[in-house]
A = this chain, B = another copy of it.
Amino acid sequence: MAEADGDDVVDVLILGAGSGGYACALRAAQLGLSVALVEQSKLGGTCLHVGCIPTKALLHAAEVADATREAETFGVLAKYDGVDAAGLRNYADGVVSRLFKGLTGLIKSRGIRVVEGRGTLTGPNQVTVEGPGGPGGPGGPGGTVTLTGRNVVLATGSAPRLLPGIEIDGTRVLTSDEALRLDRVPGSAIVLGGGVIGCEFASVWRSFGAEVTIVEALPRLLPPEDAASSAALERAFRKRGITARTGTSVTGVTVTSDDDGGGVVVTLSDDTEVRADVLLVAVGRVPRTEGLGYEEQGVTLDRGFVTTDDHCRTGVDGIWAVGDIVPGLQLAHRGFQQGIFVAEQIGGLSPRPIDERGIPRVTYSRPEVASVGLTEEQAKEEYGHDAVTTLTYDLAGNGKSQILRTQGFVKLVRQADGPVVGVHLVGERVGELIGEAQLVYGWEAHPDDVAPLVHAHPTQHEALGEAFLALAGKPLHTHS
Contact = CB atoms under 8 A, between A and B. Distances in A.
A61 B76 contact: yes
B73 A454 contact: no
Contact of A81 (B61, B77, B334): B77
A52 B458 contact: yes
A98 B72 CA distance: 19
A459 B429 CA distance: 10
Contact of A454 (B106, B351, B438, B460): B438
Nearest to A47: B457
Contact of A449 (B76, B106, B443): B443
Interface stretch (A82-90, A250-258, A319-327): A82-90
Interface string A409-450: 000000000000000000001011111101110110000011
Q: Give the one of A76, A435, A454, A458 with max B CB within 10 A.
A: A76
A163 interface: no
A332 interface: yes
Interface string A87-127: 11111100100110011011001100000000000000000
A336 B457 contact: yes
Contacts of A64: 67-68, 70-71, 74, 76, 78
A455 interface: yes
A361 B402 contact: no
B477 A103 contact: yes
Contact of A370 (B80, B90, B359, B456): B456
A360 B435 CA distance: 16
B79 A75 contact: no
B78 A476 contact: no
A56 interface: yes
Interface stretch (A22-30, A176-184, A211-219, A270-278): A22-30
B72 A84 contact: yes
Nearest to A442: B453
A403 interface: yes
B436 A435 contact: yes
Given A77-B80, A80-B78, A82-B77, A452 B68 contact: no
A85 B102 CA distance: 43
A85 B76 CA distance: 8
A399 interface: yes
Given A399-B52, A459-B435, A91 B73 contact: yes
A379 interface: no
Interface residues on A, range: 35 or more
Number of copies: 2
B72 A76 contact: no
B60 A476 contact: no
Contacts of A457: 19, 47, 52, 331-333, 336
A168 to B, nearest CB: 24
A402 B396 CA distance: 30
A334 B457 CA distance: 9
Given A454-B438, A458-B52, A402 B352 contact: no
A107 to B, nearest CB: 11
A334 B83 contact: no
A82 to B, nearest CB: 5
A288 interface: no
A474 interface: yes
A151 interface: no
Contacts of A474: 27, 30, 340
Interface string A347-381: 00001101000111110000000100000000000
A365 to B, nearest CB: 15
Contacts of A56: 399-400, 403, 458
Contacts of A109: 479
21 contacts: A26-B477, A30-B475, A52-B458, A56-B399, A56-B403, A60-B404, A64-B67, A68-B76, A72-B84, A72-B87, A75-B89, A75-B91, A102-B397, A103-B477, A105-B479, A109-B479, A358-B453, A360-B456, A435-B456, A439-B439, A439-B450
Interface of A: 19, 23, 26-27, 30, 47, 52-53, 56-57, 60-61, 63-65, 67-68, 70-92, 95, 98-99, 102-103, 105-106, 109-110, 331-334, 336-337, 340, 351-352, 354, 358-362, 370, 396-397, 399-400, 402-404, 429, 431-436, 438-440, 442-443, 449-450, 452-462, 464-465, 474-480
In the A-B complex, the 9 residue pairs with the closest CB atoms: A75-B88, A435-B461, A75-B87, A77-B81, A435-B436, A333-B457, A68-B78, A360-B456, A442-B453
